[in-house]
Structures are given as C-alpha cells and as structure tokens.
C-alpha cells in the first residue's frame, strides 16, 4: 500500500515502516517494469515526442502538534515539484513525469507513542519491536509519476510509475488496494506505483482496465481488472473490480515482533455513483479472501447536496469487518493503523460542510467519528491569494477515551502555501 496515514501531516508518510526493506531477490523483481519502460523509450521516443512542457510548484508546509499534558512538536518542510509532459497525440508516445524534492532542516526521528494508548506503548517497549519511530531524511528526491503512454484508437498502454486509484469514495477507497488516502487531507497528491496498465474504452464511460504491479517497497504487488460503464438510461456510473495482491497491511503478534504479515489477498469489488432526488450518491466496496486472516467485507457509501445558499453538505460512512468491534484494540491493530492506515474499528462516519466565503476563500468543517465514541474535528480554510498562489490551513482536534481510535487531547494545525509556475 502506497502512503501511510499519520494524523495531520501528510509528508510524514515518507518514512520507512518496519519490515518494509526488500531482499535482493525482491529488488531484482521490482525493476522489471522500469527496465521495460526504459527499453521501449529508447526504441520509440526519437521522433515520436514533440515539444516538452514544464510546469510545477514550490510549496512550504508548516505543522504544529500538541499532545495535552505532553510536549508538542513543530515541523516544517519545503517541496519543489517539476512536472514534465510531452507528446500524447494519437499514435504518439506520451511522457509524463513529476520530480519532487522535499527538504527539512535536518533528519528527523519522531516517537509515535503519543498516538498510542499507554498500555500499547508499554507493550511495544517491552517487545522486540521497541518504541515505534519514524525517520524522515533531511532531503528526499522522488518521482510521483514517471510513465510512458501510447494510445491507438480505444487502447491505451501505460508503463512506469503511475496513479492507480479507483473508487468514488472521498475519505477512503476500499476498491483501491495500491494507494491509501490521508484521512484529514484526502485530496492531496499520492505517490504512484510502478506498474503496467492497459485500458480499452468504448462509448460513454465504457472501460476495461488491466493492471500488473511488481513487488516493491510499500506496495501490495499483484494484478487487478476493472470493468466499468455508464448506464445512460439512469445516469449512473457502475463498475466491478477484481484484485489478486500480496497484502502487507496487517501485523502479526504471535512472537511479539509485530512485523507486517505477508499473505495472498483476493478481492471482488463494486463501484456505483450517480444522482438521486437531487442528491449525489456513491458507494464502493469489496469482499476479501485472505490466506491467513478471516475473510472480510469493506464498503463505503456517501451522499452530498448543495443548498441554494451555496452550502455544500456531505455524509460518508465506512464499514470494515477487518476492524475490531470495540476497544481495547490489539497492539498489532495499532501498528496496522499507524503504518498502513487500517481502520481500528468496524465503522466510521464522516460529516462535512463547506461554503465559499468569497470568490477566493472557502471554509469547511469535517467530523470523523468512530463507533467507539471518539471523533476528530477537522476545520479547513482555502485561500486563493494570487493568480498562481494558494494558502491552505487545516487543523485537527481529537476527543474520546484513552484507548479509543482517536485519542483525546491531540491538537494540530497545518499551513501549506503553494506557488505554481
């Protein structure tokens, strides 16, 4: 799974999770898509790609967090992203790449125990795993996307690092087994996965997609197929999905080592979105057959509506049989929550309200609630401060019992300024 979830600060997802290091054999396997893409590029790029277009942005993100009776932390990161695009016409090879540089003032090692109940932190401290930490390098250069694409009539072939996101859900996508959204900032960009993808399209909304993902760090390697269409008579989009992946999103606790469990996972899913009585409606989900764990269903459904006053309302509910019915949650589940973004409980509700204050300013307030009674308030302000510059402010305040999914007394604020070029 690409992208791990940490409360408040999306760039924390750049750290290394326990047990994610690859063996030499696995690293060798993971290079096959990149080698194939490079080989094809040497054969086909000359004469097939015209002018190269460059764009991008410079961004600074400041993050402050306070843990109640404990010390807080203050982080700041600068990011430069350069987007490269060339080609893309019919019968012409297309190149798309995003080069990212993220820099902190120094290498940072963060103690993650403030996110954990006291008994879980003590259990980890006494185990072979020890206190969970995340190390963020002082600087990092990486690619969000770097792929070659070729179109011929209804066919499109993509080779390389790319986005594989599926599903209409806003805060969570059960049918997307290759990425994970940040709960408090779900629309923020995600790192792509190294893959081969072939699409065939027809009519209005008709699509057959086939994906192959090699084994690599942080990614559930495997294969996926999606068959989608637009039902013109009722105006709905519908799709079915199939996955066969190597799942590493759960943790084993038999030996007290708390390392990711590698197991085969098969999933059959569905997607559905459209309108009903003036409401926007969507749902997606899947049934998952697991090699070592119990099989489970995971689904999400939501509705939204815009009032005449311009106020936008949204409700979205998540159901996951992989989670526990009530706290206290096992230590292995807390590890999966921190490192893979797996929900701890079986259900979660999101309520959202958003309103444009002026033509250049928008305010929103979101609530994420767990069935254990804990919840997070997530206010948000978005400003367009110039034709090519935005400022985003969002915060989080958690309430609940000490052993609930959202621990009480945690407060954070994130400020992100972006200038585009």
Give the residue-averaged pLDDT of 375-385: 97
Share of the chain above pLDDT 70, in %: 86
pLDDT tens string 279-293: 999 999 999 999 999
In degrees, rounded to 5, the angle at the alpha carbon of residue 370 between the alpha carbons of residues 289 and 122 is 85
75: nearest Cα among 23, 7, 27: 7
* Lowest mean pLDDT, pick from 4-18, 53-67, 73-87, 206-220: 4-18
Q: How distant is the alpha carbon of residue 108 from its chain centre?
A: 22
Give the residue-averaged pLDDT of 300-322: 97
Of 112 and 216, more confident: 112
pLDDT at residue 131, rounded to an integer: 80
CA distances to 192, 214, 413, 416 from 147, in Å: 10, 15, 35, 28
pLDDT at residue 20, rounded to an integer: 43
* Lowest mean pLDDT, pick from 85-89, 147-151, 291-295, 318-322: 85-89
Of 334 and 18, more confident: 334
348: nearest Cα among 169, 214, 156, 191: 169
Give the torsion through C-alpha atoms of 157, 161, 165, 166, to 10 deg: 30
DSSP structure string for 140-186:
EEEEEEEEEEEEETTEEEEEEEE-----S-SS--TT-SSB---TTST
- Asked if residues 418 and 59 have their Cβ atoms less than 8 Å apart, the reply is yes
- Asked if residues 348 and 371 have their Cβ atoms less than 8 Å apart, the reply is yes
176: nearest Cα among 262, 250, 285, 273: 285
User: Quick check: 33 pLDDT over 70?
Assistant: no
87: nearest Cα among 9, 150, 29, 43: 150
| Domains delineated in the chain | 10-368 (2.40.160)
Give the residue-averaged pLDDT of 247-264: 83
Q: pTM for the full model?
A: 0.85
pLDDT tens string 158-174: 999 999 989 999 999 99
User: Quick check: 253 pLDDT over 80?
Assistant: no
Cα first-last separation, the chain? 31
């Amino acid at each position: 799974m690409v992208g791990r979830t940490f409360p408040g600060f999306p760039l924390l997802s750049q750290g290394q999770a326990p047990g994610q290091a690859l063996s030499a054999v696995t690293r060798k396997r993971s290079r096959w898509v990149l080698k194939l893409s490079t080989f094809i590029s040497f054969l086909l790029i000359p004469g097939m790609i015209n002018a190269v277009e460059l764009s991008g942005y410079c961004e600074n993100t400041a993050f402050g967090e306070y843990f109640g009776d404990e010390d807080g932390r203050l982080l700041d990161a600068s990011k430069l992203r350069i987007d490269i695009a060339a080609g893309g016409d019919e019968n012409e090879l297309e190149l798309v790449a995003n080069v990212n540089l993220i820099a902190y003032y120094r290498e940072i090692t963060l103690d993650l125990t403030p996110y954990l109940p006291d008994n879980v932190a003590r259990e980890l401290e006494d185990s072979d795993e020890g206190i969970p930490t995340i190390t963020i390098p002082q600087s990092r250069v990486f690619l969000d996307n770097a792929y070659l694409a070729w179109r011929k009539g209804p066919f499109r072939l993509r080779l390389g690092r790319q986005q594989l996101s599926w599903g209409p859900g806003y805060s969570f996508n059960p049918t997307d087994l290759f990425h994970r959204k940040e709960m408090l900032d779900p629309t923020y960009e995600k790192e792509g996965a190294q893959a081969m993808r072939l699409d065939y399209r027809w009519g209005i909304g008709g699509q057959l997609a086939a994906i192959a993902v090699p084994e690599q760090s942080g990614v559930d390697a495997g294969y996926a197929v999606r068959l989608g269409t637009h039902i013109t008579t009722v105006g709905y989009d519908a799709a079915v999905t199939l996955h066969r992946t190597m799942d590493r999103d759960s943790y084993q606790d038999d030996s007290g080592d708390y390392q990711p469990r590698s197991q085969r996972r098969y999933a059959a899913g569905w997607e559905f979105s459209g309108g009903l009585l003036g409401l926007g409606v969507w749902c997606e989900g899947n049934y998952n057959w697991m090699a070592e764990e119990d099989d489970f269903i995971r689904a999400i459904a939501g509705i939204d509506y815009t009032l005449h006053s311009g106020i936008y309302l949204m409700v979205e509910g998540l159901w996951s049989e992989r989670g526990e019915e009530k706290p206290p949650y096992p230590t292995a589940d807390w590890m999966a929550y921190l490192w893979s973004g797996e929900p701890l409980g079986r259900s979660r509700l999101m309520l959202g309200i958003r309103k444009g204050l002026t033509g250049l300013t928008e305010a929103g307030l979101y609530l994420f609630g767990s069935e254990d009674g804990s919840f997070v308030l997530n206010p948000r302000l978005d400003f367009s401060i110039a034709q090519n510059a935005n400022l985003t402010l969002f915060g989080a305040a958690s309430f609940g019992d000490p052993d609930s999914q959202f621990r009480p007394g945690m407060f954070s604020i994130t400020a992100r300024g972006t200038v585009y070029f």
